[in-house]
């Protein structure tokens, strides 16, 4: 059971990474990062069956942090939208060189 769930979380993690690489929209990018975090949560839960409750405690931590991060992140994305009227990442390249 453990191996399958670890494998699943690995797959989910990879999907998240591919999502970050391919998609161009800031929000969707952020969603993919959230997906990666949840993949890690899955592996934590799976491992807690082996080593006891610390894994699950970790999950709680991760979720709260992810929430905080989401709040600040979305505020930033709104700020960028106010400036550039778009969240399409290809247009956001003022800073380069």
Partner 1 sequence: MIYDVSQPAALMAALLPDLLLMAGAMALALLAAWRPASDAHQRLVGQATLVVLATSLGSVVLAAVRGGEATAGVIAVDGFRWAVDVVVLLAAMGTVALNIEQQPRDGIRHAESHVLVALAASGMMVLAAARDLMVIFLGIEIMSIAIYALVGLNRRSARSAEASLKYFLLGAFATAFLLYGIALIYGATGQTQLGAISATIARHALALDPMLMVGIGLLVIGFGFKVAAVPFHMWAPDVYDGAPTPVAAFMAAGVKAAAFATLLRILYEAFYLVGLWMEPVAWIAIVTMVVGNLVALSQRDIKRMLAYSGIVHTGYLLVAAVAATDLASTAFTFYMLGYTLATIGAFAIVGVVQRDGEEGAPLAAYAGLWSTRPWLALGMAVYLLAFLGFPVFGGLGFFGKWYLLSATIDAPGRLIVLAIVIVLTSVISAGYYLPVIRAMFMEPRPEGATSPAPTGAWTRAVLVASAGLLLVCGLLPSSLATIALRNGFAPHAIPDEVRATGAGVLR
Partner 2 sequence: MHTDLSASGHPLSDTVAALAWLILLLPLLGFVANGLLSLTAAAHPGPADPSADHGHGDASHGHAHTIGHAADHDDAHHAGRHPAAKWVSLIGPGVLAVAFGFALVTFLAMRGAGEAIHAPYVLTLFDWIPTGALQIPVALQLDQLSMVMVLIITGIGTLIHLFSVGYMQDDPGYPRYFAYLNLFVFFMLLLVLGASYPLMFIGWEGVGLCSYLLIGFWFSEEANANAGKKAFIVNRIGDFGFLVAMFLLFANLGSLSYTGVAAGAAGLEMGGALVTTICLFLFLGATGKSAQIPLYVWLPDAMAGPTPVSALIHAATMVTAGVYMIARSATLFSLAPAAQLTVAVVGALTAVFAATIGLKQWDIKKVLAYSTVSQLGYMFVGVGVGAYTAGVFHLMTHAFFKALLFLGSGSVIYAMHQAYHATHAHADAQDMRNMGGLRRYMPITSSLMWIATLAIAGIPPFSGFFSKDEILAAVFARTHHSTLAEATWLGIPGSVVLYGVYALGLAAALMTAVYMTRMMLYTFHGPNRTGPAEQGHLREAPWIMTGPLVVLGVLSAVGGFLNLPALFGGGMSEILHHWLEPVVGEGTLRVTLGEAAHLSHATEYALIGTAVAIAVIGIAVAWTRLKPAALVPVSESPAEQGLARTLLNKWYVDEAYDRVVVQPTLGVSRTVLWKGLDTGIIDGLFVNGAGFLARGLGWLGSQLQTGRVGTYAWVLVLGAVAVLAGFSFR
C-alpha distance across the termini of the chain, in Å: 50
Q: From residue 68 to residue 87, what is the string marking binding to partner 1 with x (rule CB under 8 A)?
A: xx--xx-xxx-xx-xxx---
Identify which of residues 31 and 45 has a Cβ nearer to partner 2 in the complex: 31
Binding region for partner 2 (CB under 8 A): 17, 20-21, 24, 26, 29, 89-90, 92-97
Q: 16: exposed, middle or buried (C-beta count within 10 Å: 0-12, 13-18, 19+)?
A: buried
Angle at 2 between CA 70 and CA 56, to 5 degrees: 40
Query: How many residues bind partner 1, per CB under 8 A?
Result: 42
* Best CA proximity match to 33, nearest among 16, 58, 21: 16
Neighbours of 46 (CB within 10 A): 19
Q: Which residues bind partner 1 (CB under 8 A)?
A: 6, 9, 13, 16, 20, 26, 29-30, 33, 36-37, 39-40, 43-44, 47, 50-51, 54-55, 57-58, 61-62, 65, 68-69, 72-73, 75-77, 79-80, 82-84, 92, 94-97
């Amino acid at each position: 059971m453990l191996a399958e769930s670890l494998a699943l979380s690995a797959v989910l993690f990879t999907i998240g990474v591919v999502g970050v690489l391919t998609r161009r929209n800031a929000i969707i990018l952020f969603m993919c990062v959230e997906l990666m975090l949840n993949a890690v949560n899955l592996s934590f839960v799976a491992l807690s069956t082996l080593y006891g409750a610390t894994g699950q405690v970790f999950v709680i931590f991760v979720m709260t942090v992810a929430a905080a991060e989401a709040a600040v992140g979305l505020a930033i994305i709104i700020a960028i939208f106010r400036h550039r009227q778009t969240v399409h990442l290809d247009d956001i390249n003022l800073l380069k060189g």
